[in-house]
Each structure stands twice: as structure tokens, then as C-alpha cells.
């Protein structure tokens, strides 16, 4: 069978070690339903131009449908000696329909066949990833609504900075994942061209109607250039870029939640069902799901770099290096699917201990910027206000006195413009959040607006 497929000019059979080394069945067996889909369209296209009769095309399509059923039932097993899924399908088809099966590859190379199969597969896979990503965004919106009035510390440099609404925090991640959604949709759009009919690299002497097969497969148009059609992996890179940035965003979210869950911070509560214990320490509750999510981000980035490096060093058009393009791509897709399977449900069950969170504001230092801006409203240049409040903070730290509980004499010394102002009432974490009403700020009203805008964008 191997000899009949492509080895007419060879005097020796392939070395068994080379066959094991070069086969791709372990990678591409998953592609069989989509390979068959492309082959049926090709058969119909050959019938349209008279290379096949209508009866022949129908017999080929019926045989291909039988192969899919055998595949789904598990009755069909791939044979490594046939190298890949495409040769396995053709071999099985020839067993079913006889010599007619040998006509299917007319006007087609494995180069354009693989390129078409991958686009069909990825088109369906990206639809599923989009559903999962929308579910994750929905989970974050759910938490944003539940926690929009909860006040927690916001951090820069992992140092307490200013009070924020926890809803505002969740919406920050919503915005990051919305950008991922746009990248995912761009990647899906980049798939919407059909390479079928490009041949090995130069097209065909047969009058193939590429627009017909493109429409038959649901593509908007055929690809423009046959060489670029079989050489390009830009659409793979678009998908891997989405996967890598999605992984980065998941990793940053996971890192935050892991930190806020620690005993030292302790104001975030993770659900038991998404944590594990220790084999030796009975008290432990470990955020393993989040740690695994954080860990998988490295692999997602690596798969992008892997293919970029491969692509930069190979000439036009198809080179066997490109067989390896699917290894990292499939691994990245599988990893993203796993993350999207578990992360949304975890997020929906995260709770906040607001009382514990607000204990972090006991020294009042997170409200220093509010004092500086109060002075600005009194006419002081900001740099002078910053210097004055900074000096006051130094005194408070030295004397271990909360910034919002200084005595009148100290207040008048450093903040004479605010003489008579009751800072203990002005300088609360909740008031600080409520004052930040700039567009996109953390004020409760702004968080509500942000939630409403995103819901409208998503048609909720």
C-alpha cells in the first residue's frame, strides 16, 4: 500500500525507523472528520468539472461517510505504516469503493489537503473556545456584580496603594479577557479562506472551480496565491498569540487570587471544591487549580515561540518542518480548553471577607493621595501637596498614629489649609472609593456603568 501511494520512483521501501520518526498519525488522527469533509467537497468539485461522474462522486461521498461512522464508533484504527490520517482515509476508502478511491486525489496534494483540513478543524475548535471564553467573562461579571460594593485594597508593586471596589477589580480582568475575545475572533476570521485547489504549490492543470469548493465548505473565498496557501501558518500564529496572551491573563488573575488567599493577606476565600490538601499537613488548603493555571501559561507562550522560530528559518513553500506545526498548536488548544473547563466555575465561587480586607486600611496610609488632592482643591500645587502629605506620613509612621486619626495640632502644622476639617470622616476607605468618579474609575457608580456597558456589548 505504501509503495502504491507515493513511492513509484523509489527502489527501496522506507526504513522502519524513518517511518516511525516521520509518521504524524499520533498528531493528526483527531482530524479525520474534517479531512473527510474536505474530501467530499473535492469529490463534488471534480464532478462539477467532469473529472468524475455524478455517480462516482456520490459513491466516494458515501464511502467517506462510512469512514466517519467507523471512526466515531472506534471500529476504524489508524495504521502507522500509512503515515498520516489522510493516507489512512484514502486507503480505507479504496477498500470500500475499490479502484474508484484512487481517483479522489486527482488535482490535489496533501499540502492543500492538510491546509484545508486544518482550517476546517480550527474553525470549529475556535467556536468552542469562544463559548468557553464568554463563560469565563460571564463568571467575572457575576463576581463584579456580587462584589461591586465591597471595598478592598488595591496594589501597585504588591504594596497597598489605594482602596478600590472589588467589582472594579473583577472588571479589570473582564476588560483583559474582552481583548482576548477580540483576538480570538480575529484568528477565526483569518481562517476564512479555502486553500483547496492550490495543489502542492502551483495550482493544477485541471480546471478546478476553487470558488465552488470554497463555498461548499462554508468559506467566504478561496486563497489568492497557491504558494502562500501551502506555506503560510499565519493563522496558526494568530491562534497561538491568542492562546499565549490568554494564558498570561489567566496567570496574572491566578497569581492575584493565590496571594489574596494567603494567611498574610487572607481577605479572599476560595471554594473547597477547587482546592486540595496536603499529604502531611492537615491544616493545608492549597489553591492547586490556580497554580496549575499559572503554570500552564508558560507552555502557551512556548508554543508560540516554537512556531515563530520554525517559520523564520524555512524557505517557500512547504517543508516537512511544518508537520510539527500541529504539535504545539494542538497542545495549546487542549490546554486552553482545560483552563476554560474549570476556571469559570472556580471564579463564580470566590468570596470576599470585606471586614478582613478593610483591616488593611487601619493605618490610613492608603488615603494619603486623597489628602493631597484635598489640598489641591484648596489651591496648592500638587507637588507641594505631595511633599507636605509625605512629611506627615513619615511622622505618622514614626509615632505609629493612623493618618486619619492625627491630632488637631499636627493637622494644623502640616495641613493648615484643612484646619477644621474632620479627617476621620473624610478619610475612610469607602469614601475614597466613592470619590473616584472619573470615567473608568473605581467609584461604585462607575463600576455599575462598566458592568452595564459590557453586558450590552455581549447582548446580555
Give the tens place of pLDDT for each residue, 375-423: 999 999 999 999 999 999 999 999 999 999 999 999 999 999 999 999 9
Rg (CA), the chain: 31
Could you tell me the three cell numbers for 296?
500552564
Closest by Cα among 78, 84, 15, 77 to 324: 84
Paired strand residues for 156:
159
Q: Is 278 a catalytic site residue?
A: yes
Give pLDDT, residue 7.
Answer: 65
Write out the CATH class of domain 359-457.
mainly alpha
What CA–CA distance (Å, rounded) separates 295 from 75? Answer: 37
Give pLDDT, residue 2.
Answer: 43
Per the rule left: phi > 0, alpha: psi between -120 and 50, beta: everything else, 169 is alpha
Q: Is 157 a catalytic site residue?
A: yes
Closest by Cα among 284, 299, 286 to 339: 299
| H-run or E-run covering 164 | strand 159-165
Q: What is the pLDDT of residues 54-112, one digit of tens each?
A: 999 999 999 999 999 999 999 999 999 999 999 999 999 999 999 999 999 999 999 99
- Of all residues in the chain, the percent with pLDDT exceeding 90 is 93
Q: What angle do CA 445, 446, 449 make, to 5 degrees?
A: 90
Q: What is the pLDDT of residues 168-213, one digit of tens each?
A: 999 999 999 999 999 999 999 999 999 999 999 999 999 999 999 9
Residue 1 has pLDDT above 80, yes or no: no
- Of all residues in the chain, the percent with pLDDT exceeding 70 is 98
CATH fold match for the domains 2-106 and 111-149+160-352: no
Annotated catalytic residue within 73, 157, 263, 279 = 157
Could you tell me the three cell numbers for 203?
495550482
| H-run or E-run covering 250 | helix 234-261
What CA–CA distance (Å, rounded) separates 285 from 301? Answer: 29
**Contact between 28 and 93 (Cβ < 8 Å):** no
Give pLDDT, residue 182.
Answer: 98
What CA–CA distance (Å, rounded) separates 63 from 250? Answer: 44
4 or 443: which carries more pLDDT confidence? 443
Give pLDDT, residue 5.
Answer: 61
Return all residues near 354 (Cβ < 8 A) that are at least 6 apart.
150, 151, 152, 166, 267
**Contact between 237 and 311 (Cβ < 8 Å):** yes
Residue 3 has pLDDT above 50, yes or no: no
Assigned CATH for 111-149+160-352: 1.20.200.10
Torsions phi, psi of 457, nearest 5? -60, -35
Residue 4 has pLDDT above 70, yes or no: no
Mean pLDDT in residue range 270-293: 96
pLDDT-derived band of residue 10, with 50, 70 and 90 as boundaries?
confident
| H-run or E-run covering 152 | strand 151-156
Residue 301 has pLDDT above 80, yes or no: yes
Assign 179 to helix, strand or coil: helix
Annotated catalytic residue within 22, 220, 278, 424 = 278
Assigned CATH for 2-106: 1.10.275.10
**Contact between 318 and 229 (Cβ < 8 Å):** no
Return all residues near 328 (Cβ < 8 A) that are at least 6 apart.
240, 302, 303, 304, 306, 307
Q: Where are the alpha helices (DSSP H) in 349-441?
A: 354-358, 368-377, 382-399, 408-414, 423-426, 429-435
Give pLDDT, residue 12.
Answer: 76
Average pLDDT, the chain: 96
Residue 439 has pLDDT above 70, yes or no: yes
Domain ranges of the chain: 2-106, 111-149+160-352, 359-457
Amino acid at each position: 500500500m505504501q509503495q502504491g501511494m507515493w513511492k513509484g520512483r523509489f527502489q527501496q521501501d522506507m526504513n522502519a525507523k524513518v517511518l516511525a520518526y516521520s509518521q504524524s498519525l499520533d498528531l493528526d488522527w483527531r482530524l479525520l472528520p474534517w479531512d473527510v469533509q474536505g474530501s467530499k467537497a473535492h469529490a463534488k468539485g471534480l464532478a462539477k468539472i467532469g473529472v468524475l461522474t455524478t455517480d462516482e462522486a456520490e459513491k466516494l461521498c458515501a464511502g467517506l461517510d462510512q469512514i466517519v461512522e467507523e471512526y466515531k464508533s472506534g471500529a476504524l484504527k489508524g495504521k502507522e505504516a500509512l503515515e498520516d490520517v489522510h493516507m489512512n482515509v484514502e486507503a480505507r476508502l479504496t477498500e470500500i469503493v475499490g479502484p474508484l478511491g484512487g481517483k479522489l486525489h486527482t488535482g490535489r496534494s496533501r499540502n492543500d489537503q492538510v491546509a484545508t483540513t486544518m482550517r476546517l478543524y480550527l474553525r470549529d475548535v475556535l467556536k468552542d473556545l469562544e463559548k468557553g471564553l464568554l463563560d469565563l467573562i460571564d463568571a467575572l461579571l457575576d463576581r463584579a456584580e456580587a462584589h461591586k460594593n465591597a471595598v478592598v485594597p488595591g496594589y501597585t508593586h504588591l504594596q497597598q496603594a489605594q482602596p478600590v471596589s472589588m467589582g472594579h477589580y473583577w472588571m479589570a480582568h473582564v476588560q483583559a479577557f474582552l481583548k482576548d475575545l477580540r483576538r480570538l475572533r480575529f484568528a477565526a476570521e483569518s481562517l476564512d479562506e479555502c486553500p483547496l485547489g492550490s495543489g502542492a504549490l502551483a495550482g493544477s492543470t485541471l480546471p478546478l472551480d476553487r470558488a465552488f469548493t470554497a463555498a461548499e465548505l462554508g468559506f467566504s473565498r478561496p486563497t489568492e496565491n497557491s504558494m502562500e496557501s501551502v506555506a503560510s501558518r499565519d493563522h496558526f500564529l494568530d491562534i497561538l498569540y491568542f492562546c499565549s496572551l490568554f494564558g498570561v491573563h489567566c496567570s496574572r488573575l491566578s497569581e492575584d487570587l493565590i496571594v489574596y488567599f494567603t494567611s498574610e493577606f487572607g481577605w479572599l476565600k476560595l471554594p473547597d471544591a477547587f482546592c486540595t490538601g496536603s499529604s502531611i499537613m492537615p491544616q493545608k488548603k492549597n489553591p492547586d487549580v490556580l497554580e496549575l493555571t499559572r503554570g500552564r501559561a508558560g507552555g502557551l507562550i512556548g508554543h508560540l515561540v516554537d512556531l515563530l522560530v520554525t517559520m523564520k528559518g524555512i524557505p517557500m513553500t512547504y517543508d516537512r518542518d511544518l508537520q510539527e506545526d500541529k504539535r504545539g498548536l494542538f497542545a495549546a488548544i487542549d490546554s486552553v480548553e482545560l483552563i476554560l473547563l474549570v476556571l469559570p466555575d472556580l471564579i463564580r465561587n470566590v468570596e470576599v471577607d470585606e471586614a478582613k480586607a478593610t483591616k488593611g486600611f487601619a493605618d490610613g496610609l492608603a488615603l494619603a493621595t486623597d489628602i493631597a488632592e484635598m489640598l489641591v482643591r484648596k489651591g496648592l500645587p500638587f507637588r507641594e501637596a505631595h511633599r507636605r502629605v509625605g512629611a506627615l506620613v513619615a511622622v505618622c509612621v514614626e509615632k505609629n498614629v493612623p493618618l486619619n486619626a492625627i491630632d488637631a495640632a499636627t493637622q494644623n502644622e502640616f495641613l493648615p489649609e484643612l484646619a477644621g476639617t474632620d479627617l476621620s470622616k473624610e478619610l475612610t476607605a469607602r469614601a475614597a472609593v466613592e470619590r473616584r468618579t472619573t470615567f473608568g474609575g473605581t467609584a461604585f457608580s462607575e463600576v455599575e456603568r462598566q458592568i452595564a456597558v459590557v453586558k450590552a456589548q455581549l447582548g446580555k
